[in-house]
Amino acid sequence: MVLKCQSMSIHTHTASYSRSVIVLAAGKGTRMKSDLPKVMHHAAGRPMVEAVVDAARSVGCTPVVLVIGHGADLVRAHFAGRANTEFVMQMPQLGTGHAVDMARPLFEKGLLGEETLVLCGDGPLIRPHTLQVLLDTHRNTGASATLATAVIADPQGYGRIQRDSNGNFARIVEQKDASPEQLAICEINPSYYCFRTADLFDALKRVTNQNASGEYYITDVFELLLRDGKRVSVVDAVPAEDVLSVNTLEQLAEVSRILESRSSTSTGARA
């Protein structure tokens, strides 16, 4: 069963839930042409991954689990001494599903919350408000998994959202696996996810690497949960500006510009 949230104005509430976050931060970022791990490149004066972690903490996520790999020591050193921070290593790197599954030992020890956000460390434009709406939609609809989507003019590089004949979410198709018809879809996956933690790790056991990349995709979890008869909810009103992730130095410059513009606007509003 799929439940769809048409707007990001959903009412929030203050009920206490145990929630954690897994931040994917293991990538090298070859196109960045730098020895730094991708997530440690600075956007508007601080590492991209720090902005993601701070957004998750602002909505009450603890612990923060950082999946590290390339440049692991640099990421560890940056977050050293921060409370409720865990590190798990992903080497070799076999896909986003494999990355999340590196946190399984923490789940089995009972160290994760009842619900878990999964975010990418190279997406510093994520807003706390967006995460709060994602969490509230997840709870209010009783979902097993909830994802955000956005409609953008140029979907190149993003997974596409495939819907059924009734307009309901059906699956995420990664670009390398997409048909020409699917590539024409402009509703994309910005990689903002919330899961019922137990359902997440159960589904990950069944994810395969039978795809064009030969990788284990976290995005396959949603289709598996639907097949199980579980609810998948969608927040489909994320602003296009907020979903730009960083794979090149040009994108890093654009993200920095957006963040600096936000900061200037916020400062001006307080003046």
Per-residue pLDDT of the chain (271 residues), as tens digits, is 444 443 343 333 334 459 999 999 998 877 787 888 999 999 999 999 999 999 999 999 999 999 999 999 999 999 998 999 999 999 999 999 999 999 999 999 999 999 999 999 999 999 999 999 999 999 999 999 999 999 999 999 999 999 999 999 999 999 999 999 999 999 999 999 999 999 999 999 999 999 999 999 999 999 999 999 999 999 987 888 899 888 899 999 999 999 999 987 765 555 4
May I ask the CATH class of domain 2-6+17-270? Answer: alpha beta
- Whole-angstrom distance, CA of residue 190 vs CA of residue 245: 8
DSSP per position, 50-115: HHHHHHHHHTT--SEEEEEBTBHHHHHHHHTT-TTEEEEE--S---HHHHHHTTHHHHHTT-S-SE
Catalytic residues: 31
Instruction: Decide: 67 and 103 in contact? Cβ < 8 Å.
Output: yes
Alpha-carbon distance values, 166 to 62, 162, 163 (Å): 37, 11, 8
Distant-in-sequence, close-in-space partners of 158: CB < 8 Å, separation ≥ 6 = 152, 175, 188, 189, 190, 243
Return left, alpha or beta for 29; rule: phi > 0 is left, psi -120 to 50 is alpha, else beta.
left
Q: What's the predicted TM-score (pTM) here?
A: 0.91
Cα–Cα dist 105/188, whole Å: 31
Secondary structure element (H or E) that encloses residue 161, with its range? strand 159-163
Q: Which residues lie closer than 8 Å to 154 by C-beta, 6 or more apart?
A: none
Spell out the residues 6+ positions from residue 87 whose beta carbon is closer than 8 angstroms to its own. Answer: 65, 66, 68, 72, 75, 76, 79
H-helix or E-strand containing 238?
none
